[in-house]
Amino acid sequence: MAEQLHITRIHLPTLQTPPTPASYDKHRGQGTPLIIDNGSTTLRFGFCTSATPRCQPNTVSKYKERRTNKPLLLFGHGVDTESGAKSQAKTPWEGDVLLNFDALENALDYAFIQLGIDASSVEHPVLMTERLCSPLHSRGLTSELIFEQYSVPSLAYCVDSVMSFYHNNLPPSSVPFSSDGLVVSFNSASTSVVPIMQGKGLMSHAKRIPWGANQATDYLLKLIQLKYPTFPTRVTNTQSTWMLQNFCEFAIDYPTLLRTLKDPLRLRASERIIQFPFMVNAAEEKTEEELARIAERKREQGRMLQEIAAKSRMEKLLQKENDLQYMLNLRERRDEETKKEWENTLQEEGFENDGELDSAIKKLESDLKKARKKEADGGEPEDPEPPSFPLIDVPDADLDEDGLREKRKQRLMKAGYDARERAKREKEREREEREAEERREEEERDRDLTGWAGKLRKEQEAIMNKIKERNRRRAALTDRKSAAAQARMKSIANLAADDRVPKKRRKATGEDMFGADDADWAIYRKINTAAASSDEEEDLVTLQAVEQKLLQYDPSFTAEHTHASLSAQRSALLSAFRPQYEDGDIEGKTRLHLNVERWRVCEAWFSPSMAGIDSAGLGEVLQGALSRFSDQEKSRLVKNVFVTGGPSQFSGLLDRMYAALRPILPPEMPLEIVRAADPMTDAWKGMADFAKTDEFNRVSVTKEEYEEWGGERIKRWWGGNWNSSVLVD
């Protein structure tokens, strides 16, 4: 099956081995520039002479080990090794703003340890990234940390996306950087657009959209949670990120895509299934043999119980027989003993007189007879002939007192007997009627199957309509303002109103005719919202009977025409959107089906309002940014639209941006969109390139300047921020 191909198991995170610190020997005392790309997800750092940076997730976790009770400080991948540490993890960033300076300090410590720095201070000029138009609070405290904590000789800030652009448009050495382009940077918590003219970032024309990879992850997670409210395992943020990276893409034309996805078959074809780990409940599945064994054991138990009961019955019988024998013997002795002795004997045995003994014997005898009979045929003894009541027809005058009493008794018994007989006859007749009905129906069916089926179907439909109508009414009654609810209130008011008929007149004329017609009582049924249940059950029973018959005889009536399956049916669209699995299918229950979401999440970059963020989308922002330039400048910019950052790797982005930009530009204007060679680390590489040039020293703030200006002021240059900057040249 084609769909089976799209099942992907959720990945299990692999633990990374912690990297070992590098040797510091090569850089000791050299003053090699140190490059730190402080990204909100990943911290990349290294000396500018190395080809690639060291990368670690930018998270810190202070955590107390349970076993050794030792406080641990973990950074980067190390956080993932301890589940307890993961919940304590902190990042230096809060959304888009650098805010948590304890974590930043830990991150910088880690970076310097990894680089093997063992001198008494960090004697390297530092080039660090900061957010586009970073709040000065963040910059001031970062500078303070760098200069005072680590005693760095000089520090420069840059904007990561511009440096990524620089790396991808690297001028030959000794030629100043003078490329034009429109940089679109996809960050973790935001997306920004920076136009670059003549190799100079125009920060005044930059724009930022508060939507980034983190928001997209959250959005995807929320959509999944809404789609699967009862999913057995918790879907974590990491898993959601993984799904976003692997299954989501930009749609070139989202509305058109949605129109094609409207077709349930295409929706099914576009889906990706994610299989979460699951446990098969082994206890539930029993083999045929086991089932047979259990049944056998049950039968065995039943038999044993029966045997025990029979045995006790036998014992009782035996006891009774013995008793009887004893009493018979006793009676026989009566003749042998004298009267006095006999009375004594009787007293000893607990009898008052002869009569009592006789009745006891009689009772025992009848008991025994009954028990034996029961044993013999196992059933109730049934009197085949009707009992006779001989005394009833005898006139009272002919009877003495006892006879009269007996006659009364017999009369009662006769009445009871007659009633039973009548009921039996009634039943008989009913059965006959039913049989006749069935016969008639059968004849009708044999004669005209289609007509019969049509009739039954009509009946079924009528009942289903009745049920539907009732459901609708019930739904309407929950709404206070619906017509049904209003009508009900009116009836109640009418019933409660005393002045329907004035009391006096009512008394005088006996005017109140309520109840004269049986239909009057239906009003109570009508105003009672809960009472319909008995009717409902009745309807369901008849419905079932009708459906049974139809199923049995009408070949065109199949199981899917029954009320149950009709009401349980979901539309093809919804079942394609979220396929349902059988109740016991644990594998199926731990699957996520992603279909519309795969494009829906990425579309939010172009219209954040979808996810509730009141901001213009990427297309609109690009248009706005470009509209501030003249046509000639515009053409220089759009010739080199440059995308960088993690989310820019999603497939379909370049095409989508082309589709968004092309219509807003003059047709003859060339449009070129390129992605960074390595969207993740190109910013760091660009910074390393830049740090090797002489210009780096010119734009750096030295420690003396820091002491004079404070931490917020920087020098204005082409790759740095403008806010609170001074022009140097």
Residues between 236 and 275 that touch other proteins (CB under 8 A): 255, 258-259, 261-262
Closest approach, Cβ 36 to other proteins, in A, equals: 14
Which runs of consecutive H residues, i.e. helices, occur in 612-667? 618-627, 631-638, 653-661
Closest approach, Cβ 479 to other proteins, in A, equals: 8
Which runs of consecutive H residues, i.e. helices, occur in 448-532? 449-478, 483-496, 503-509, 522-527
Given candidates 384, 612, 663, 666, which one binds other proteins under the rule CB under 8 A? Answer: 612
Q: Which window, 71-79, 158-166, 324-332, 536-544, contacts other proteins (CB under 8 A)?
A: 71-79
Structure tokens at 306: 């029966």
Please report whether residue 722 would count as binding other proteins according to CB under 8 A: yes
User: Cβ closer to other proteins: 163 or 456?
Assistant: 163
Give CA–CA dist 41/59, Å, rounded: 8
CA angle 447, 449, 455 (to 5 degrees): 110
Give CA–CA dist 216/224, Å, rounded: 12
Distances, alpha carbon 369 to alpha carbons 331, 364, 366, 383, 417, in Å: 20, 8, 5, 15, 24
Please report whether residue 597 would count as binding other proteins according to CB under 8 A: yes
Binding mask 180-199 for other proteins (x = CB under 8 A): ------------x-------
Give CA–CA dist 21/24, Å, rounded: 9
Q: How many CB atoms lie within 10 A of CB 131?
A: 24
Given candidates 596, 659, 669, 674, which one binds other proteins under the rule CB under 8 A? Answer: 596
SS3 track for 259-309 = HHHCCHHHHHHCCEEEECCCCCCHHHCCCHHHHHHHHHHHHHHHHHHHHHH
User: Cβ closer to other proteins: 212 or 364?
Assistant: 212
Given candidates 41, 58, 59, 134, which one binds other proteins under the rule CB under 8 A? Answer: 134
Please report whether residue 222 would count as binding other proteins according to CB under 8 A: yes
Q: Which window, 106-114, 340-348, 451-459, 690-698, contacts other proteins (CB under 8 A)?
A: 106-114
Closest approach, Cβ 186 to other proteins, in A, equals: 14
Closest CA to 453 of 542, 539, 555, 566: 555
Q: Which residues contact 155 (CB under 8 A, 6 or more apart)?
A: 125, 126, 127, 128, 143, 146, 147, 700, 701, 706
User: Cβ closer to other proteins: 150 or 690?
Assistant: 150
Given candidates 624, 631, 698, 704, which one binds other proteins under the rule CB under 8 A? Answer: 624
User: Cβ closer to other proteins: 258 or 674?
Assistant: 258
Give CA–CA dist 722/729, Å, rounded: 15
Given candidates 22, 86, 135, 275, which one binds other proteins under the rule CB under 8 A? Answer: 135
Closest approach, Cβ 653 to other proteins, in A, equals: 18
Distances, alpha carbon 433 to alpha carbons 429, 430, 453, 545, 553, in Å: 6, 5, 22, 18, 22
Closest approach, Cβ 100 to other proteins, in A, equals: 8
Please report whether residue 591 would count as binding other proteins according to CB under 8 A: no
Please report whether residue 501 would count as binding other proteins according to CB under 8 A: no
Closest approach, Cβ 571 to other proteins, in A, equals: 3
Given candidates 491, 607, 635, 693, which one binds other proteins under the rule CB under 8 A? Answer: 607
Distances, alpha carbon 506 to alpha carbons 481, 512, 513, 515, 701, in Å: 35, 6, 10, 15, 104
Beta bridge partners of 727: 716
Binding mask 145-174 for other proteins (x = CB under 8 A): ---xxxx-----------------------
Handedness of CA 559, 560, 566, 570 (dihedral sign): positive
Give CA–CA dist 471/535, Å, rounded: 13
Q: Which residues contact 217 (CB under 8 A, 6 or more apart)?
A: 237, 240, 241, 244
Given candidates 1, 5, 51, 226, which one binds other proteins under the rule CB under 8 A? Answer: 226
User: Cβ closer to other proteins: 481 or 504?
Assistant: 481
Closest approach, Cβ 647 to other proteins, in A, equals: 16
Given candidates 22, 133, 665, 674, which one binds other proteins under the rule CB under 8 A? Answer: 133
Given candidates 8, 21, 50, 334, which one binds other proteins under the rule CB under 8 A? Answer: 21
Closest CA to 603 of 545, 635, 650: 650
Q: Are strands 60-64 and 71-75 parallel, antiparallel or unpaired?
A: antiparallel
Q: Which residue has the tokens 């013995």?
A: 322
Query: What 3-state DSSP class applies to 381?
Result: coil
User: Cβ closer to other proteins: 141 or 269?
Assistant: 141
Closest approach, Cβ 275 to other proteins, in A, equals: 22
Please report whether residue 230 would count as binding other proteins according to CB under 8 A: no
Given candidates 406, 620, 633, 695, which one binds other proteins under the rule CB under 8 A? Answer: 620
- Size of site (CB under 8 A) for other proteins: 83
Q: Which window, 157-165, 290-298, 348-356, 611-619, contacts other proteins (CB under 8 A)?
A: 611-619
Please report whether residue 117 would count as binding other proteins according to CB under 8 A: yes
**Is-contact 546 459, C-beta < 8 A?**
yes
Closest approach, Cβ 226 to other proteins, in A, equals: 6
Please report whether residue 101 would count as binding other proteins according to CB under 8 A: yes
Given candidates 210, 579, 588, 652, which one binds other proteins under the rule CB under 8 A? Answer: 210
Please report whether residue 579 would count as binding other proteins according to CB under 8 A: no
Beta bridge partners of 55: 44
Given candidates 99, 317, 485, 669, which one binds other proteins under the rule CB under 8 A? Answer: 99
User: Cβ closer to other proteins: 82 or 620?
Assistant: 620
Please report whether residue 229 would count as binding other proteins according to CB under 8 A: yes
Q: Which residue has the tokens 């928001």?
A: 215
Q: Which window, 115-123, 492-500, 634-642, 650-658, contacts other proteins (CB under 8 A)?
A: 115-123
Given candidates 94, 249, 321, 655, which one binds other proteins under the rule CB under 8 A? Answer: 94
Given candidates 22, 141, 654, 665, which one binds other proteins under the rule CB under 8 A? Answer: 141
Please report whether residue 48 would count as binding other proteins according to CB under 8 A: no
Q: Which residues contact 307 (CB under 8 A, 6 or more apart)?
A: none
Given candidates 128, 132, 641, 643, which one binds other proteins under the rule CB under 8 A? Answer: 132
Given candidates 482, 615, 693, 702, which one binds other proteins under the rule CB under 8 A? Answer: 615
Give CA–CA dist 121/118, Å, rounded: 8
